[in-house]
């Protein structure tokens, strides 16, 4: 099952609601014990996700694709990046994050950036 790391710009309500609807899901946030601390640079977050098997959930549409390209060029991999649109209805985003966990195989988002909600 995919594990999610929510970046520090994702409202905590996303974790609360994800766990409410899917209690078996692993959802950590930047700043949690064991996760990267708040203020960690994006390249370091990607390395942490790679080492710990977490899919990053972020709203960073501008620089994250570049950081992923750099990460891959260094010979690393990443379970994936799900970039959410915080202007989209929260329910639609949550529904798709839950669907992604339930319907995806382990490597489906490997080394990819996917925008949620899916169009």
Q: What is the pLDDT of residues 2-39, one digit of tens each?
A: 999 999 999 999 999 999 999 999 999 999 999 999 99
Q: What is the pLDDT of residues 41-84, one digit of tens each?
A: 999 999 999 999 999 999 998 999 999 999 999 999 999 999 99
Catalogue all structural domains in the chain, each as residue range(s) with its CATH number.
Answer: 3-116 (3.40.50)
What is the structure's pLDDT at 117? 85
Question: pTM of this prediction?
Answer: 0.95
HSE, CB side, 13 Å, CA atoms: give it for residue 118: 9
Confidence of residue 119 (pLDDT cuts 50, 70, 90): low
Long-range (24+ apart) CB contacts under 8 A made by 66-73 are 67/42, 67/43, 68/111, 68/113, 70/43, 71/43, 71/46, 71/47, 72/111
């Amino acid at each position: 099952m995919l594990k999610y790391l929510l970046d520090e710009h994702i409202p905590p309500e996303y974790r609360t609601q994800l766990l409410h609807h899917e209690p078996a899901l692993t959802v950590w946030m930047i700043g949690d014990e064991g996760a990267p601390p708040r203020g960690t640079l994006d390249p370091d977050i990607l390395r942490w996700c790679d080492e710990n098997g977490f899919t990053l959930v972020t709203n960073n549409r501008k620089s994250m694709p570049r950081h992923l390209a750099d990460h891959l060029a260094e010979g690393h991999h990443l379970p994936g990046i799900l970039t959410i649109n915080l202007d989209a209805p929260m329910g639609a985003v949550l529904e798709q994050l839950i669907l992604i966990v339930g319907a995806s195989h382990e490597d489906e988002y490997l080394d990819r950036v996917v925008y949620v909600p899916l169009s």
